[in-house]
A and B are shown apart, each in its own frame.
Chain A
Amino acid sequence: MRFNRKDILGIREMGSDEIELILDTARSLRDIITRTIKKVPTLRGRTVVTLFYEPSTRTRTSFELAAKYMSADTVNISTSTSSVRKGETLKDTARTLEAMGAEMVIIRHPVAGAPHFLARNLRASVVNAGDGMHEHPTQALLDLFTIREKKKRLKGLKIAIVGDILHSRVARSNIWGLRKMGAEVVVSGPSTLLPPESATLGVKATHRVEEALEGADVVMVLRLQLERQRKGLFPTVREYTRYWGINRERLRLARDDALLMHPGPFNRGVEVSSDLVDGNQSVINKQVTNGVAVRMALLFLLLGGKPDEISR
């Protein structure tokens, strides 16, 4: 299959064959990361801009490393170091990037749809590194990659996603991706943090976390944004942990070989107990490594690499 997309804005618009191609490409590229000399000249001379309107060292570093391993040049623009903070509009920033000749822009933005706005206004490829509550497609791709690698398949698996589903772009992208790849998804959290009419997302929703965990192949725990408590969506962190925190006892409800995942950064002892983070079911560190591989694959495919070029 050929990959011909200008932008990666969300998983929802993607076909399962496209997802498959990205995961396969990432598989071939991941070996580069484990080499001692981690550079391939594939994207030499190409310019990748990271444009971050929200702080996220984790995601930005992952993209930067991906670009560096492929020998691309990177330019970082973030809210604290540029005109972004001085109130330049996104439209004007887009014009500047266009004038700079950027070939790819990776954007993280607190408002859903900001990457779409940029994509409309730029010839460059735009990659959504998280927009508002909409999507975080590269996170979902690295999660799919990690699950597929461990479980050798995605189809037919039962995935429990636990936490603040309503506000989570990670949950959205994972739901679309997992559903497209044939997995079954159950979401759980306090009813004030579950989306309205969850069935329209193709998932089952329950406020009883035990029900979601029962027989799960993968337990994906979301980061709890503590400001939701201040908005009155749940009474206290203590009570949240009491009902939805994932601990060893609860994890036992899942399959014995169930994977524990978390997009990070985590609140130890809140949404997930500390021993589980470091335990043998946890693949949290694998997620980080795979994140770089998946992002390398996207840079490669978007900047016009042919899938067979890297298998050599």
Chain B
Amino acid sequence: MKLVVKGGRVIDPGTGVDGLMDLRIEDGTIVEVGENLKPDAAKVIDATGKVVIPGLIDVHTHLREPGYEWKETIATGTRAAAAGGFTAVCCMPNTNPVLDNPGQVTYVLEKARREGKVAVYPIGCITKGSRGEELTEIGYLREAGVVGLSDDGLPVENAEVMRCALEYARMFNLPVISHCEDRHLAGDGVMNWGPASTAAGLKGIPASAEEVMVARDLILAAATGGRLHLAHISTAGSVRLVREAKRRGVAVTCEVTPHHLTLTDRFIQESGYDTNTKVNPPLRTDADVAALREGLADGTIDIIATDHAPHHTDDKEVEYNYAAFGISGLDTALPLMVTELVGGGYLTLNQLVEKMCLNPARVFGLSRGRIETGGRADLTIIDPEERRTVDVSRFYSLGKNSPFLGRELTGWPVVTIAAGVVVHGEGK
């Protein structure tokens, strides 16, 4: 397939490009970057008035396959990723069975090769069965293709196990991803602990439940020199701890989700206890949202990741306490961030691309996330003008669990090109 993308504003912080430019793509590779490229025999994609960025990379996706195919599959999840402007996703290992051995990882990669719309990079478990007791065969997992390790959803409670994981994974240059949650402090809470939980009458999860684990893992990372990546940090305290650790030179990176950057705990009662607001970590306060935005801007937070957690309506159309935790995020992440963060003046478009392409590639060692001659042709074309209301019935994800229903957003991806193939939008 030969393509020429013409007339768009190309933004790539990785190569420092920001200007009107054409791109020629052949056999999955960008072969020419320049002005006034001739179409020759190639198909032309007119990007006039649009913005062309490297394909987005989501480092925290739950594809649910194998084991929970009624919630999402590799096919539907990667289709949603393509629609959301992502050309690669890192899938979390809390499937059934969990991805704790090389065979499981190979299965997912094989399935993704056949049915996936975009690239899939599996994350392997830290411990066997994600039970938090014994390390997985981290070397074999690496050979099978994992790009990171996580017991997401089940925090590694035993500090010695976490220490060993950081120490051992360092040899294979794999980041250890920590889902920071002290399960005793979190208890059976379902939303952020504070005035909003008092008013709503729901059990609270205090900020400290996250922060004591962030603090512990930062101390362990400093002690071992291992690579720590903190998943979905959500509190002002976590931002402060990471900022301080980075200043001391601790090898830590972290991510934040679009929902933690845009919603607060007050919305739970305002929405009439909409269970689509139920997520772990919980939506926090205005002060936390402000601190997270500040942390993104000053570089404390490296990555925006969706923590895409699709659920079936049966898991959500129940009483708040009984509903599953999680938000379906792939379909809305980009326009949400363009509208709220870029539109709100918290990040430049260049910084947003850094947080959603360049840094994900850097932290997880993926050779992508740039627009350059000879590079992989993964591109997302955004229409900065298109205004559209979030409509879950148009989601490609099987998970319709979005608290953003009815929000008017701009910056929707109109074309997604993965490895030189149009996987979403015009010309598909």
Residues of A within 8 A of B (CB): 12, 89-91, 109-114, 116-117, 120, 131-135, 166, 169, 172, 195-197, 200-201
Task: Tell me which of B193, B197, B322 contacts A111 (CB under 8 A).
Answer: B322
Specify the chain A residue showing the minimal Cβ separation from B318. Answer: A89
On whether A131 and B194 interact (CB within 8 A), knowing A90-B319, A111-B322, A113-B319, the answer reads: no
Judge if B195 is at the interface, Cβ distance under 8 Å. yes
Query: Are the CB atoms of A195 and B198 closer together than 8 Å?
Result: yes
- Given known pairs A196-B194, A197-B194, the reply for A112 and B200 (CB within 8 Å) is yes
Among B159-193, those with CB < 8 Å from A are 193
Is the beta-carbon distance between A109 and B198 smaller than 8 angstroms?
Answer: no
CA distance A176 to B198 in the complex (A): 12
**Contacts of B297-324 to chain A: CB distance below 8 A:** 314, 317-322
B140 an interface residue at 8 Å Cβ cutoff?
no
The answer to whether B199 and A133 have CB atoms under 8 Å apart is: no
- For A110, list chain B residues within 8 Å (CB): 321
- Whether A112 pairs with B195 at a CB distance below 8 angstroms is no
The answer to the question of B70 belonging to the interface, with a C-beta cut-off of 8 Å to chain A, is no
On chain B, the residues within 8 Å of A114 by CB distance are 319-320
Interchain nearest-CB distance for A275 vs B (Å): 33
Taking a contact as CB atoms under 8 Å apart, the answer to whether B201 and A112 are in contact is yes
**Neighbour of A134 across the interface among B193, B195, B201, CB < 8 A:** B201
User: A113-B273, A196-B193 in contact; A134/B200 too (CB < 8 A)?
Assistant: yes
Contact between B198 and A200 (Cβ–Cβ < 8 Å)?
yes
**B202 → chain A closest CB, angstroms:** 5
Q: Is the CB–CB distance between B201 and A133 below 8 Å? A: yes
Does B345 touch A at the CB level, under 8 Å?
Answer: no
Q: Which residue of the partner chain, among B198, B317, B320, contacts A113 with CB atoms under 8 Å?
A: B320
Cα–Cα distance between A166 and B199 once the two chains are bound (Å): 10
A113 CB contacts on chain B under 8 angstroms: 200-202, 272-273, 319-320
- Whether B2 sits at the interface, judged by CB under 8 Å, is no
Interface assignment of B243: CB less than 8 Å from any CB of chain A: no
Residues of chain B within 8 A (CB-CB) of A12 are: 199
Q: Does B203 contact A (CB under 8 A)?
A: yes
The CA of A133 and the CA of B321, in the complex, are separated in Å by 12
Q: Are B195 and A200 in contact (CB under 8 A)?
A: yes
Please name all residues of chain B whose beta carbon is closer than 8 Å to the beta carbon of A90 when the two chains form the complex: 318-319
Q: Which of A112, A195, A200 contacts B320 (CB 8 A)?
A: A112
Q: List 9 A-B contacts (CB under 8 A).
A: A89-B317, A89-B318, A111-B321, A112-B200, A132-B201, A132-B321, A133-B201, A133-B202, A201-B195
State in angstroms the CA–CA spacing of A260 and B159 once bound together.
51
Whole-angstrom distance between the alpha carbons of A124 and B199 in the complex? 25
Q: Can you list the 5 inter-chain pairs with the closest CB atoms, starting with the nearest?
A: A134-B201, A113-B273, A112-B201, A133-B201, A200-B195
Q: Which residue of chain A lies nearest to B313 when distances are taken between CB atoms in the complex?
A: A91
CB distance from A75 to the nearest CB of B (A): 21
For A134, give the chain B residue with the smallest CB separation: B201
Q: A91-B318, A114-B319, A172-B198 are in contact. List 17 more A-B contacts (CB 8 A).
A: A89-B317, A90-B319, A91-B317, A112-B202, A113-B201, A113-B320, A117-B272, A117-B273, A120-B272, A132-B201, A133-B201, A169-B201, A196-B204, A197-B198, A200-B199, A201-B195, A201-B198
What residues of chain B lie closer than 8 Å to A134, measured between beta carbons? 200-202
Closest to A133 in B: B201
Docked complex Cα distance between A127 and B73 (Å): 41
Contact among A109, A166, A197, A201 for B319, CB-based, below 8 A = A109
Interface residues of B in 191-236 (CB under 8 A from A): 193-195, 197-204
Docked-complex contact B195 and A132, CB < 8 angstroms: no
In whole Å, how far is B237's beta carbon from the nearest beta carbon of chain A?
15
Closest-by-CB residue of A relative to B203 is: A133
Give complex CA distance A116, B198 in Å: 17
- Find out whether the CB atom of A196 lies under 8 angstroms from the CB atom of B195: yes
A208 to chain B, nearest CB (A): 21
B194 to A, closest residue via Cβ: A196
Q: Which residues of B contact A169 (CB under 8 A)?
A: 201
Chain B minimum-CB-distance residue to A119: B272
CB of B190, distance to nearest CB on chain A (Å): 9
| Distance between A248 CB and nearest chain B CB, rounded to angstroms | 32
Give the chain B neighbours of A109 by CB distance below 8 A.
319
